[in-house]
Structure 1
Amino acid sequence: MTYALSEKGPLMARPGEYALRWDLILDYAQDDHLDAIDNAWCDGFVAHAGTQSYGRRCLEDLRAAGNSMVEDEKLTHMPRVKMPDKSPSRPDHLTEDEVWALIKTAWNEPDQQNYPHGPKGDKTYKMVRTTRYRMRHLVPYIVVSVLTCTRASRVFEASYKREDGRPWIDLKNKFYWRLAKGEVEKKLKRAPKVPLSDQLVRWLTWRTRDRTRNGVVIPGNKYLVEYKGRPVDCRKAFEQCVERARVRYPDLFLRDDGDPKQIVRHTLRHTGVTLLSQWGVPAADICDYAGMSPEVYDRVYKHADPTKMDRVMDALGGRERPEPKGRRRTSEK
């Protein structure tokens, strides 16, 4: 564990979570040595971990640390680590109407506070609506996540000025540098630089300008996702926004069978890639734009490509292509 935490831990995106996974491994292993690792040991650990997906993630750390020690000649042999099956990928994505519903909820959801209600000394409190809107910082997060198909952390950490350790939105040259300054791109989870549309640049530029409200100057945003002047991780706020949107729009966020969709922050990136595929953008361009491999696209997103069976349909006499579900028509002829 000392080797894993000292050598590999600092390289992890979330070293705290990495350490917690190793705590769980050692809690199960107790005094066991590496020779004790076999299929039965791995099966027992997965049961100890609570869920199959989390047990697999911990075993991946164990296997990676052992293989690294073998490469560094600190270990002569690493036993085979039996991996449980991968959990099925999240199939849910949002339609355009559902994206708009999230945006409108984030923009219009008011803040509420508990205020004393009743005679003086009465401890009865009542939720009172205020004039503040507590979720508006989510709007740029939702918009940029979907339009640029970017992973969550590279959106809420982004700034409008070049800073160490943060992705950079270059509004002047209309580019989104998703890698932080000096950061080395990983083989997996690539983050290539992407261009920004003129419309998106105009809107983001407006957010960076100082504004005046009731004679008070409000400074423009320095960060893409900013709350009370500070950059924030918006995970909890996004979860609350999803729940409020389900209440505001009960006919949306449902699967074809009527069950509610499972919506997390990664759903926005998944939605962006799926919509590009539905709009007929070539797969190679989508992979370059989103920073994914062709193998991942074929496995996860190819089903949404309306052109994937065109040759078959042409051979069978053709067919009329349906409009993608939830797509908004920009004009009527």
Structure 2
Amino acid sequence: MGEVLARYADDKGPTLASAETLAYSIQALAPFWGGLTCDAVKGSTCRLYERERAKPRKTETTSRTGKTIIRTRAAGASTVRRDLGVLQAALNHAHAEGMLIHPIKVTLPAAGDPRDRWLTRSEAAQLLRHAEPHVQRFILISLYTGRRESAVLQLTRPRVDLEEGKIRFRADGQAETKKRRGKMRIPKQLRGHLRRWLRHPGTHVIMFRGKPVNSIKTGIRRAAERAGLEGVTPHVLKHTAITWAVMDGVSVEDAAEYFDTSPETIRKHYWHHSPHHQERALEVIERRR
């Protein structure tokens, strides 16, 4: 399995938009799976991996002041599903490349119900007020564009066209994935911020100490703690952007086009927030005599 994971990382890693996420998952998978043979992949070992990942582990990080911070964390079901999804992809690749004679099926843990956490406008204002400048940029871009963390952090200056009023979140030559990035028009509220930010030098729109930012999770978490908010992650900002648009009356088709998200996803996860939700059915029912 170690060879399978290494081959997948070498062959696919350079072509993926989420190469860092892939590397993180492989680092988590390797200690458990690396020494096993591929025929050991079955339901029982997948469930054992889930239990192992659920055990609290201490991690050490160093703050900007040089202080060592120790945190205890355990992987949740969604993280395990992501890890095992990478394991399945690696096995599929190994089979396609002739390393395996037969395909091998990975058993995934059950998917939990999606969290419906989104920020009110007052919560968003509080988060902004307590965030560092580069985190504020991320928050504003996320709330106006509804793009994923990686798409926002990897946004380079040449892909922001203030004259045409458009942003290209996907780089030239970058393969599109199911987690689409696409192109969008810039709202006038965000255009003013971008114009001010782009006056400063740098390769990316979001920079910290002169360098691009690889992850904003810690910055968001700290801002949320200072603001007294719970359950705030970068994905919550994307969820908030689409929820606000739907609450303001944007249709399924327009939301899907603007946020480069499928209509099915809009209907499944956001449409219940719309003032038009079940509107036509309600009109018909209320016309009954």
> Does TM, normalized by the shorter one, top 0.5?
yes
Instruction: Please name the residue that 2:195 is paired with.
Output: 205
The Cα shift of 1:30 comes to 6.1
Trace 1:1-333 onto structure 2 (pairs within 5 A): 1=3, 2-15=6-19, 17-29=21-33, 31-50=35-54, 51=75, 52-106=77-131, 135-160=132-157, 162=158, 168-186=159-177, 188-209=178-199, 219=200, 223-233=204-214, 234-246=216-228, 253=229, 261-317=230-286
Instruction: Please name the residue that 1:250 is paired with.
Output: none
CA distance in 1, matches of 2:207, 2:100: 47
Instruction: Number of aligned residue pairs: give it.
Output: 261
CA distance in 1, matches of 2:270, 2:219: 28
Q: Tell me: CA distance 1:181–1:29, structure 2 relative to 1, closer, same or farther (3 Å).
A: closer
One-letter amino acid matched to 1:71 = A
Scaled by the length of structure 2, the TM-score of the pair is 0.80
One-letter amino acid matched to 2:43 = N
Instruction: Please name the residue that 2:66 is paired with.
Output: none
The Cα shift of 1:15 comes to 4.1
5+ long unaligned stretches in structure 2: 55-74
The Cα shift of 1:16 comes to 5.2
Residues 119-153 of structure 1 deviation map (CA, whole Å, 9 limit, x = unaligned)? xxxxxxxxxxxxxxxx1233322111111111122
The Cα shift of 1:195 comes to 0.5
The list of structure 1 runs, each at least 4 consecutive aligned residues, that deviate by more than 6 angstroms after superposition, is none
Preserved CA contact (<8 Å) 1:277 1:301? yes
Q: Tell me: CA distance 1:310–1:154, structure 2 relative to 1, closer, same or farther (3 Å).
A: same
Residues 250-282 of structure 1 deviation map (CA, whole Å, 9 limit, x = unaligned)? xxx5xxxxxxx4110111111000001101101
CA distance in 1, matches of 2:52, 2:251: 45
Preserved CA contact (<8 Å) 1:141 1:224? no
Q: Tell me: CA distance 1:193–1:19, structure 2 relative to 1, closer, same or farther (3 Å).
A: closer
CA distance in 2, matches of 1:227, 1:191: 23
Residues 38-92 of structure 1 deviation map (CA, whole Å, 9 limit, x = unaligned)? 2222212221222433332222122112222222333221232211112332210
Larger Rg, first or second structure (1 or 2): 1
Q: Tell me: CA distance 1:81–1:310, structure 2 relative to 1, closer, same or farther (3 Å).
A: same
Question: What root-mean-square deviation, in Å, do the aligned CA atoms of Structure 1 and Structure 2 show?
Answer: 2.4
One-letter amino acid matched to 1:207 = W
Q: Tell me: CA distance 1:238–1:70, structure 2 relative to 1, closer, same or farther (3 Å).
A: same
Preserved CA contact (<8 Å) 2:138 2:153? yes
CA distance in 1, matches of 2:209, 2:36: 50
CA distance in 2, matches of 1:16, 1:137: 20
Instruction: Please name the residue that 1:122 is paired with.
Output: none
One-letter amino acid matched to 1:43 = R
CA distance in 1, matches of 2:127, 2:34: 47
CA distance in 2, matches of 1:54, 1:48: 12
The Cα shift of 1:19 comes to 4.2
Preserved CA contact (<8 Å) 2:198 2:205? no
CA distance in 2, matches of 1:23, 1:221: 31
The Cα shift of 1:202 comes to 2.9
CA distance in 2, matches of 1:208, 1:18: 31
5+ long unaligned stretches in structure 1: 107-134, 163-167, 210-218, 247-252, 254-260, 319-333
Q: Secondary structure at the match of 1:137?
A: helix
One-letter amino acid matched to 2:191 = V
Of Structure 1 and Structure 2, which has the larger fraction of its residues in helix? 2
CA distance in 2, matches of 1:155, 1:239: 17
Residues 280-315 of structure 1 deviation map (CA, whole Å, 9 limit, x = unaligned)? 101111111112122222221121122121122212
Greater Cα shift, 282-291 or 44-53: 44-53
